[in-house]
Amino acid sequence: MDARESLKRQLIKDRDRIITLVQDMVRIPSENPPGNTTELYAFVADFLQRQGLDYQTVAPVPEWPNLVASFDGGEPGRHLVLNGHLDVFPAGDRSRWSSDPYAAEIRDGKLYGRGVSDMKAGTAASILTYIYLSKIQQHLKGKLTLTAVSDEETGGEWGTKYLLDNVPGTLGDCVINAEPSTPRTIRFGEKGPLWLNVELRTPGGHGAYTHQSQNAIKQGARLIRELESLTQLPFEIPADVEEKIEIARPALDEVLGQGATDIVRAITLNIGVIRGGDKMNMIAADCHIEVDLRCPVGMPSQRLLAEFEQVLSKYDGASYTISGGHDANVCDPNHEMVGILGDNAEAVRGIRPYPAISIGGTDCRLWRERGVPAYVYGPTPYGMGAPDEYVTLDDLLGTVHVHVLSAYDYLMG
């Protein structure tokens, strides 16, 4: 029996052990904020150690350790990097959960728990891929690297970004990641956020003497209406990306709701926060607005920012700061890895996934920005960032199988 066939058999045999690993990981909270992942990190490190595998701890912030592990195959070849994060959203109000968010209960073929979909099931898939392939290391070509990071949910500065900037050998030739997506898509790109804090200031005054000063809140209301025009700016999506977006339309709309594909293609505007004024009968002298713009592939955030500045320049006393963001990013939708993931997904789940652009962000961006193709194939998230988060066991097991086999195929290809 060849190595690939025995991998498949082993995966089927290990069904319960795979599920138990994810349950064990869910039972160790790693909420971010505050983002202390040391306990979960110690669990993962110990899990690798018990398989006789070495790892490196990279902890520029002691409470947010990152794990890097790597092995070479028996022959030279390509370098594949596996990436997942250990930190999760906070559980929030526990009374809104049907069961303890850290009990990792299984009901009706679903595994419940905070962070199970984003992304402990996925990170377990990366860890297991590394372990399964380490056992046939000598039969493999190339090199496999595992990165399990601790700072994804709040920006990645001390997680993946730190690794890529400071730890040699983490860039690789290709990356796979199991962030929540859906078995119906392989994500090859994502939109780019542009987050702006706007301050409007006017002299203010007595609320009866409206001739004496502009009202900063009313200015804010006008500004918000005017900012809607940014969503109508013309731009061009590259043809190969556009084609993939349209092919994936039915799948994406079914999973994320009608209209999701239109949002993938659009500049969107969300006003997340507005604050201003002091008192009913005073002219508001200040208004603070937090503007959340999202750029599709084809719309550089610098261009959108320039258009935003143009709008804002019409308001006396207005200023802004950038609180975060990056460009939309994309890698080759026709790369060999897309075919490999697609073939395995179809064989394992009976669903052929489409290459698609993601609305939300992942650490894959950091590789794509450095010219390394990075792909996401993961479980459908239910209740992500909300009570009663879960994944189906079918998605969980399917994600593990697809990642293990795809890593094998890529390294042997």
Tell the smallest beta-carbon distance from residue 65 to Zn ion (Å).
Answer: 18
Closer of 362 and 406 to Zn ion (Cβ): 362
Nearest residue to 122 (alpha-carbon basis) of 176, 171, 65, 55: 176
Closer of 180 and 220 to Zn ion (Cβ): 180
Binding site for Zn ion (CB under 5 A): 118-119, 179
Residue 309 has, within 13 A of its CA and on its CB side, a CA count of 8
Closer of 118 and 190 to Zn ion (Cβ): 118
Tell the smallest beta-carbon distance from residue 115 to Zn ion (Å).
Answer: 9
Closer of 88 and 216 to Zn ion (Cβ): 88
Tell the smallest beta-carbon distance from residue 179 to Zn ion (Å).
Answer: 5
Calpha distance 395→82 (Å, rounded): 18
Closer of 40 and 196 to Zn ion (Cβ): 40
Tell the smallest beta-carbon distance from residue 153 to Zn ion (Å).
Answer: 7
Contacts of 396 (CB under 8 A, 6+ apart): 18, 19, 22, 111, 121, 379
Tell the smallest beta-carbon distance from residue 152 to Zn ion (Å).
Answer: 6
User: What secondary structure, in 3-state letters, does 47-105 show?
Assistant: HHHHCCCCCEEECCCCCCCEEEEEEECCEEEEEEEEEEECCECCCCCHHHCCCCCCCCC
Closer of 304 and 374 to Zn ion (Cβ): 374
Closer of 26 and 299 to Zn ion (Cβ): 26
Tell the smallest beta-carbon distance from residue 342 to Zn ion (Å).
Answer: 22
Calpha distance 45→238 (Å, rounded): 42
Q: Are 141 and 39 in contact (CB under 8 A)?
A: no
Closer of 120 and 401 to Zn ion (Cβ): 120
- Calculate the CA 188 to chain-centre distance: 12
Tell the smallest beta-carbon distance from residue 363 to Zn ion (Å).
Answer: 8
Q: Could you tell me the two tokens for 277?
A: 């004024």
Neighbours of 348 (CB within 10 A): 21
Contacts of 252 (CB under 8 A, 6+ apart): 184, 185, 260, 261, 264, 354, 356
Q: Is the peptide bond between 101 and the residue preceding it cis, with omega within 30 degrees of 0?
A: no
Closer of 180 and 342 to Zn ion (Cβ): 180
**What's the distance, Cα to Cα, between the start and end of the chain in Å?**
19
User: What secondary structure, in 3-state letters, does 190-210 show?
Assistant: ECEEEEEEEEEECCCEECCCC
Tell the smallest beta-carbon distance from residue 329 to Zn ion (Å).
Answer: 16
Tell the smallest beta-carbon distance from residue 216 to Zn ion (Å).
Answer: 37
Tell the smallest beta-carbon distance from residue 148 to Zn ion (Å).
Answer: 12
Among left, alpha and beta (phi > 0; psi -120 to 50; other), residue 330 is beta
Residue nearest to Zn ion (CB): 118
Largest CA distance in the chain: 88
Closer of 30 and 219 to Zn ion (Cβ): 30
Calpha distance 283→350 (Å, rounded): 63
Calpha distance 71→64 (Å, rounded): 24
